[in-house]
Amino acid sequence: MTQTSDTVTWLTQEAHDQLKAELDHLSGPARTEIAKKIEQAREEGDLKENAGYHAAKEEQGKQEARIRQLTQLLQNAQVGAAPADNGVVSPGMVVTIAFDGDESDTMTFLLASREFATSDIETYSPQSPLGSGVLGKKAGDDAEYELPNGKTAMVRVLETKPYQAA
């Protein structure tokens, strides 16, 4: 299956298992723990001035947001097999680029979910400005992407190959 959709997240089995374990913890024991904290804080009385209650509710909100993020990520994940070695930049590919076409100023990175950033290579999301700029390109193609200051940068794709864990 060729991955050209930016809704697909390519993960190694190890990364998938890590994220699944985090989701299982957050939606199980961690949910129970935060509910207990909220209940204990409620028992302390007036909720308007109860800092412990508000902190626990805020923590709960962050936890629920992370649960939603992980659920969506894992639903859209392609696990295990690397993308096809067809020379097209797609999630799961290691990409080498040259800035402004200058082959002495290069960078190599993995195009994958930021959740995968535990690897030994810098990781850019397909949704990032650089990631979306090079997505679908081949070696020799030029790509533009928008910098944080609103200006446009140009890079040339020098090489693209499927990621292989070290």
Tens digits of per-residue pLDDT, 87-117? 888 888 889 999 886 778 899 998 887 666 5
Considering the chain, tell me which residue range(s) the CATH 3.10.50.30 domain(s) occupy.
93-162
CATH class of 9-79: mainly alpha
- CA dihedral (98, 102, 105, 111) in degrees, to 10, reads -10
Confidence of residue 4 (pLDDT cuts 50, 70, 90): very low
What does CATH list as the number for 93-162? 3.10.50.30
Tens digits of per-residue pLDDT, 123-152? 888 888 999 999 999 999 999 999 889 999
CA dist., res. 132 & res. 112, Å (int): 11
Angstrom CA distances, 128 to 52, 82, 111, stand at: 37, 21, 10
